[in-house]
Amino acid sequence: MSRVKVEIYEGDPFSGGCCGPGIGSVQAAMKLRKMLSEREDIVTRLRGEFKENLEITREIVSARKSLDNYPTYAKEFISAGASLPFILVNETLAVKGRFPSFEELRQLITEHLK
């Protein structure tokens, strides 16, 4: 069985200042926390299911980070303004503009294991 490499490139969830002094609300903070927890849960479940057949990473795309810090193939999508988040499977764009569900990612991984 082959190994699948999944890279998740996400926007900085704190770049909008939702949690800064006097900005945002408790509801906005709770919504952000829930979204981040759900995404981490998906990644954890995938790691548990596919174990040694899966390499999965999450990367924050930020204007404060030099493009040189990203792999060449990812720089192309970032430079082109690909909608965040975007998901690369084996260095190929698989999803952009949304974070897929557990089942969607599971299916993508399974297809690449064949």
Q: What is the pLDDT of residue 23?
A: 54
- What per-residue confidence (pLDDT) applies to 17? 53
Structure confidence at residue 91 (pLDDT):
94
Q: What is the pTM for the complete model shown?
A: 0.86
What are the structural domain ranges in the chain? 4-113
| Portion of the chain with pLDDT greater than 70, in percent | 90
Average pLDDT for the chain? 88
The CATH architecture to which 4-113 belongs is: 3-Layer(aba) Sandwich (3.40)
Q: What is the pLDDT of residues 26-68, one digit of tens each?
A: 888 888 899 999 999 999 999 999 999 999 999 999 878 888 8
Report d(CA 114, CA 75) in Å as an integer. Answer: 28
Residues in CB range of 106: below 8 A, 6 or more apart: 46, 49
